[in-house]
Structure 1
Amino acid sequence: MDVDNTTLDQWQSVFGGTAGTIIGLAYYILLAIAMWKVFTKAGYPGILALIPIVNWFFLVKIAGYSAWWGLLALIPLVNVVFAIIVAIRVGRAFDHGAVFSFFLLFLIAPIGYFIIGFSADRYSKPA
């Protein structure tokens, strides 16, 4: 029996794209819920965590930098390095070390932000 590869490819692209969209949306929702609590602990309105670009600028402020530094996210390669620095600074602001910050705030962010948001950690603005 001969299988028509174009039909199979079409089905894979439809369901692959749908699955990717659902996973991405679930990731974003989990991250927004976790960041809502972190923003509230840091003294900012939690609703700002729902706005995709704005949440990055406020996360930069929580890390102790001016929100203008958030524009570094637009520069390729610099954005990755700066995201790691922001994750480490946010972790430090909630009394966590660099290893926690790198793995749980940069690589698997929702888990780290849930830990910070729903634990007894207190925010102290970085110097």
Structure 2
Amino acid sequence: MNANEQIGAGIGLVSIIIYLAIFAATIAGMWKTFEKAGKPGWAAIIPIYNIIVLIEIVGKPMWWIVLLLVPCVNYVALVWLTNLLSKSFGKGEGYTVGLVLLPFVFYPMLGFGDAEYQGPSAAEANPGVQ
């Protein structure tokens, strides 16, 4: 292996380590966030099921999973669910922006920080509507 190949391999290895650290921080934060909301933390690592648990945490009806299957609509619905998650923990729209743009920073802050689950925000905003 020549010097350029070694440098390239080193950069690739460092990139993989950074990616895995970011992924682990996000998952750990989601795990603790789910536990704070009274749900199993392991649900954060199960694809699709983690979205179902998120829908339960924020108090939206289960048919919202259909919105997440529709192209283009799924982005809007996921941001909306993230906003409701922020509100469920007493945070505002600024925190939602953080969760969407920097989840590896804001999910650990939500999960390991002093934020407390205040109940499903969607149910409080629309009492009796399911």
Q: TM-score range by the shorter chain?
A: 0.7 to 0.9
Distance 2:70 2:103 in 1: 21
Is this contact kept in 2: 1:83–1:106, CA < 8 A? no
Q: Percent identity, please.
A: 33
TM-score relative to the length of structure 1: 0.75
Amino acid at match of 1:105: L
Unaligned runs of 5+ in 1: 1-11
Shift of residue 66, structure 1, vs aligned partner: 2.2
C-alpha distance 78-88 of structure 1, shift in aligned 2 (>3 A): same
Q: Which residue of structure 2 aligns with residue 121 of structure 1?
A: 115
Shift of residue 27, structure 1, vs aligned partner: 3.7
Distance 1:113 1:93 in 2: 14
Q: What pairs up with 1:84-99 in 2 under 5 angstroms?
A: 84-99=79-94
Alpha-carbon RMSD across the aligned residues, in angstroms, is: 2.4
Shift of residue 19, structure 1, vs aligned partner: 7.9
Once the two structures are superposed, residues 80-122 of structure 1 have per-residue CA deviations (whole angstroms, 9 ceiling, x without a partner) of: 11111111110011111111112x1111112111111111111
Q: What pairs up with 1:77-88 in 2 under 5 angstroms?
A: 77-88=72-83
- For these two proteins, the number of residue pairs brought into alignment is 115
Structure with higher helix content? 1
Higher-RCO chain (CA-CA 8 Å, sequence separation at least 6):
2
Q: Which residue of structure 2 aligns with residue 73 of structure 1?
A: 68
TM-score relative to the length of structure 2: 0.74
Q: Which residue of structure 1 aligns with residue 50 of structure 2?
A: 55
Q: Which residue of structure 2 aligns with residue 107 of structure 1?
A: 101
Q: Which residue of structure 2 aligns with residue 43 of structure 1?
A: 38
Q: Which residue of structure 2 aligns with residue 32 of structure 1?
A: 27
Amino acid at match of 1:98: E
